[in-house]
Amino acid sequence: MPAPRKYPDELRERAIREVQTSGRPVAHVARDLGIHKEALRNWVRQAEADQGTRPDLLTTNERAELTQLRKKIAELRRANEILKAASVFFAKELDQPRTTSPDHGRTGR
């Protein structure tokens, strides 16, 4: 579960909009709104990526998909390790000589 957000979504949206429409520096807007300037800078960069004006950055949806795919890869790797261990175990079982009962193959006559 992600950590709770320090700033409300409404404040984030307002701050991003202010930076994008006013042309004022991020640091000034951040100071006026009581937001850490690096937090606001990151929000603005992410908003630009989501709007398509920053093709060098992943969009929010792409980041979520990447996170999901990384989790799936980790899960598949764990499953693969379990299957490898199981195959080694069963291979050892098959390699052991089988003991047969003395009556094996006799009809009892």
- Rounded Cα gap, residues 85 and 79, in angstroms: 10
Lowest mean pLDDT among 56-60, 66-70, 101-105: 101-105
- Rounded Cα gap, residues 51 and 41, in angstroms: 15
**pLDDT of the residue at 103:** 60
**Over residues 19-29, mean pLDDT:** 96
- What angle in degrees, to the nearest 10, is found between the helix axes of 26-33 and 37-51? 120
1-57 fold? Arc Repressor Mutant, subunit A (1.10.10)
| CA 50 to chain CA mean position, Å | 19
- Its pTM surpasses 0.85: no
**pLDDT of the residue at 106:** 58
- Rounded Cα gap, residues 75 and 107, in angstroms: 53
pLDDT at 101 over 80: no
**Over residues 79-96, mean pLDDT:** 91
DSSP 6: S
pLDDT at 18 over 70: yes
The domain locations on the chain are 1-57, 59-94
Q: Which amino acid is at 29?
A: V
